Amino acid sequence: MSATALTRPDSRPLDKAGCAEAPVLRERGQREVFCGLTGIIWLHRKIQDAFFLVVGSRTCAHLMQSAAGVMIFAEPRFATAIIDERDLAGLADANEELDRVVGQLLARRPDIKLLFLVGSCPSEVIKLDLSRAAQRLDRTHGGVRVLNYSGSGIETTFTQGEDACLAALVPEMPASRATTPELLVVGALAEVVEDQLRRLFDALGIGPVGFLPPRRAHLLPAVGPNTRMLLAQPFLADTARALENRGARHLPAPFPLGAEGTTGWLRAAAEAWDVPPATFRAVTAIGEQRARTAIARHRERLAGRRIFFFPDSQLEIPLARFLSRELDMRPVEIGTPYLHRAHLAAELPLLPEDALLSEGQDVDRQLDRCRAARPDLVVCGLGLANPLEAEGIPTKWSIELVFTPIQGYDQAGDLAELFARPLLRRAALAV
């Protein structure tokens, strides 16, 4: 789909350039982000027979419990093997301690088929080699696959935990022997969203379709030269690279947020499968119209409002596109931790030309720009939300946009409502 062929939902012509050639403000300074361990919160719900064992400190354990909101009697599929003073002082063999903890875990939870050892800042600081530990434990515990990845926040933002996890799964995927195209949807999606998308692909005659991550460890999809890959999330750079190294081909597309984004995302697959345009419209028209109707309920509240994105989840650019084109909001600054131009090639031309794009973060400078702009709404991490609220600036937590099902036609109205709620709350408090 060329930029010149695109129109706004209200039929106004789209600026041909958008932000595709816009200069980007690149900042390298102090950051305010969660670490990649947070990705476990949605991943452990997705892969139903996997377990995530964080090798970290008590701080890591408190973070996981707080982020998940796990009740004391619940038994989630994640835990923390705590590195204590004896490990740090070298008084105990950290590998022996880890082997003991894993043995106890697997004896207690025979349902586990896939175990992730998840590195943290503390495990990296003491140079604990979890890759070698995973290989050793994989040999020791037959029937349970043991893998590792890093969720350390030293150099990453919180959604990169999912990227690292899925990249660790790619070598485990079987080699495809297919002689015709296969579709692989990459990125953790809520099961209800996955089912909706699968029905649409079936109606379009697109398939076979695999999803990464799968719901069960043994259901890993195959990958090979005939694999066509659709990214469901914009933060999967390492996973996409690993899949391309195994022969998969990326289908450039906007991300499936809102009516327009979902249609563009589905169209990328439809064009790769040579689906007739009439068939495509017949299959997608009802869902797209339903999404537009749901979104329209919130347009009066959001239209003309100015929004400012702090870099956090890497969802910022697709979200800004959705809000500006389908709800007529005005992005002041769109900050993102990393700007992957190849994966965002279909998104950047759809952004308003006057929006400032920033990559990376110098939090003090960005706060100064935000305060000077006085936007109507700010999307940011939890660490910045309370101070900004205290200054009278409504906020939306970026982590909520990752925890909540927001992809696809049937979730488009819910996505719009997530941005309307802070303004509704502010209006109610002002009465």
**Helices assigned H by DSSP within 315-381:** 316-326, 363-373
Going across the sheet that includes 24-28, the strands are: 24-28, 356-361, 330-336, 306-309, 377-380, 395-397
How far is the first Cα of the chain from the last one, in angstroms, to the nearest whole number? Answer: 47
Q: Give how far Cα 95 sits from Cα of 77, 288, 431, Å.
A: 22, 53, 59
CA distance 238 to 156: 12
Look at the block and give the residue holding tokens 């590792």: 148
CA distance 259 to 286: 11
| 167 close to 43: Cβ distance less than 8 angstroms | no
Reference 81, options 120, 104, 55, 51; nearest CA is 55
Q: From edge to edge, which strands make up the β-sheet containing 249-250?
A: 209-212, 182-186, 227-231, 249-250
SS (H, E, C) 180-225: CCEEEEECCCCHHHHHHHHHHHHHHCCCCEEEECCCCHHHCCCECC
Nearest to 172 by CA among 105, 239, 88, 76: 239
Binding site as annotated, residues for [4Fe-4S] cluster? 35, 60, 121
Distance of CA 201 to the CA centre of its chain: 22
Give the residue ranges of the annotated binding site.
35, 60, 121
Q: Which of 326, 323, 308, 353 is nearest to 418 (CA)?
A: 323
